[in-house]
Copies of this chain bind each other. A is one copy, B any other.
Amino acid sequence: MSLMKSWVASANSAAHPFPLNNLPYGVFSTADLEEPHCGVAIGDMILDVTAAEAAGLVDLGEEPLFDAPMWNPLMEEGPAVWTALRARLVALLEDGANERAKVELFLVPQADAEMHMPFQVSEYTDFYAGRHHATNVGTMFRGAENALPPNWLHIPIGYNGRASSVVVSGTDVQRPWGQLKGPNDAAPRWAPSARFDIELEMGAIVGMASDGPLSVQAADDAIFGYVLLNDWSARDIQAWEYQPLGPFQAKATATSISPWIVTKAALEPFRCDTPAREVELLDHLKDCGPMLYDIELEVGLTPEGGSESVIARTNYKEMYYSSAQQLAHHATSGCPMNVGDLLGSGTISGPEKGNRGSLLELSWGGKEPLELEDGATRSFVEDGDRLVLKGTAKGKGFSVGFGDCSGTLLPARSDPFARG
C-alpha cells in the first residue's frame, strides 16, 4: 500500500499523521457549534460527519448514526457498516472526488477545534502484557529470578480499571492524595502521592458485544480500533494497597487517551506477529495470524516553562500478547463484553533502557534519575510536567498517526480533610 491521494492537500505528505489512508474518528467542537460533533481527520482538517450526515452526504441507514457526540452508535452497527463508512469517506475525500464542492462545506480546520472523548467508555480493563515491562517491574519488586509471576507466560494478566477516570488528551491531571506507607514507615499516612508515574500503552476498543467465550479470531474481529493510552499511576499508593487484590486507587485518578480512534482497517498494513514464545499457549489463546501492529511510540516530557525531552521510544510490536488475545482471555468466563469497552495493552517497554514506557522503569524505581535535555532530572512526574505520547505507523510514503495523547500534572489540591 502507498499514499492514497486526497484533494485535501495537507493530507498528501509522507509524514502527515492523517492521510486518506488513516481517516481516524474523533469528537470535536468549535466556537460555531452548539454541541460537539463527530469528525474524521483528513490532513489538517476535520470532516464534520455529523453535519455531513444531516446534509445527506453520508447515509448508512434509516436512523442517524452521528447525532450524538460519540462513535458508539457506529460501532453498534457492526463491521459491514464500519466498512461501508470507510468506503464512503474515501469516495468523498479522494483526489478527483465528484462531490468535492459539497464536502468542502463540511471541513473544519483542526486548529479551530477542541477535541472531546471520542467514545463513551463502557468498562475499562488494563493488562500487564508487555514482557519487558513485567520483567523490569518484577525484577525491582521480587528480584530477577522471580521477575515474571508463574502465570505470566500462560495468561495475559489483566485487572478491571475505572471507566469513569478515562479522559481525553489535553485534560489536566491532578496529583492525587492517598494512603502511603514506605517499607520502613511504622504506620501509613495520608499525603499526596510522591511517586506519580505514567504508563505508555495502546488501548483497543471493543466494537461488538458478546456474552460467551471468544476465539482469538472472533476477538480480533470484534475490535473496532485503537487509541494511545496513558495509564497514570501512583506507585506509592500502589505499593501499599495492591496486595492481595491488585491496584485500585493507584490507577483511578486518570487514564488519558488520544483524541482519535485509528480503525483496525487503517492499521491493516502494519499487522505483525507477537514475539516468539518459550512456552506454548493453550489452544484458546494461540495466535491465529498477525494481530499486533508495528507502531512506533514515544513519550515526551516537558517541564513547566522548559523544553521537551523524548524520554522513551518503543514499539507496539514489543507486546507479548495482542489485544485480540487479551479480549479472548477476558471473555473466557462468560464475562459479557460490550460496545465501548476499552482494553489497555499494558505498559509497552522495549529491550533497552531508552525503550521503557514508565518512569518507574526509566529511573529504576527512583534510584537512577533520568536526565532531561535541559539538565533537570526526573525520578517521577513533577508538578507542571506535560507528558505527551505519540504513535506512528510508517508505511511506504505515508504515515498513520493517532494525534498526541497529552496531559499536564497539576499540583495536589490542599488537604481535602484539613480542619479549619
Known: A159-B245, A337-B164. A179 touches B332 (CB 8 A): yes
Residue in B176, B284, B336, B417 whose beta carbon sits within 8 Å of that of A283 in the complex: B417
- Which residues of A259-281 have CB atoms within 8 Å of chain B's CB atoms? none
User: Do the beta carbons of A249 and B333 come within 8 Å of each other?
Assistant: yes
**Residue A155 at the B interface, CB < 8 A?**
yes
Q: Verify B248–A158 contact, CB threshold 8 A.
A: yes
Q: Are A417 and B215 in contact, with the CB atoms below 8 A? A: yes
- Residues of B with C-beta under 8 A to A154: 179, 181, 187-188
- On whether the beta carbons of A333 and B234 are closer than 8 Å, the reply is yes
User: Which residue in B157, B161, B213 is a CB contact (below 8 Å) of A244?
Assistant: B157
Interface-forming stretch among A95-103, A221-229, A235-243, A387-395?
A235-243
CB–CB B179/A282 < 8 A: yes
Task: Determine the residue in chain B with the shortest Cβ distance to A336.
Answer: B164
Contacts of A284 in B (CB 8 A): 190, 417
Asked if A244 contacts B241 (CB within 8 A), the reply is no
Does the CB pair A160–B160 fall under 8 Å?
Answer: yes
Q: How far is the CA of A163 from the CA of B336 in the complex (A)?
A: 9
Contact indicator A159/B190 (Cβ below 8 Å): no
Q: What residues of B have a CB within 8 angstroms of the CB of A248 in the complex?
A: 157-160, 330
Q: How far is the CA of A190 from the CA of B282 in the complex (A)?
A: 7
User: Complex formed: what's the CA distance from A177 to B336 in Å?
Assistant: 14
Q: Per-position contact with B for A182-203: 1 when CB-CB < 8 Å, else 0?
A: 0000011110000000000000
A175, B161: Cα distance in complex, Å: 25
A332 with B249: CB separation less than 8 A: yes
- What separation, in Å, do the CA atoms of A123 and B249 have in the docked complex? 15
CA distance A271 to B157 in the complex (A): 40
The reply to whether the CB of A293 lies closer than 8 angstroms to some CB of chain B is: no
Contacts of A337 in B (CB 8 A): 164
A306 at the interface (CB under 8 A from B): no
A183 to chain B, nearest CB (A): 10
> Residues of A at under 8 Å CB distance from B?
122-123, 128, 149, 151, 154-155, 157-165, 174, 176-179, 181, 187-190, 212-213, 215, 234, 237, 240-250, 252-254, 282-284, 329-330, 332-338, 413, 416-417
User: Closest 9 interchain pairs by CB?
Assistant: A246-B246, A252-B335, A160-B160, A249-B333, A176-B333, A164-B336, A213-B416, A159-B245, A245-B246
Contact sample, A vs B, 17 pairs, CB 8 Å cutoff: A154-B181, A157-B241, A158-B245, A159-B159, A160-B162, A164-B337, A176-B333, A177-B213, A213-B416, A213-B417, A242-B245, A242-B246, A245-B247, A246-B246, A246-B247, A253-B333, A254-B334
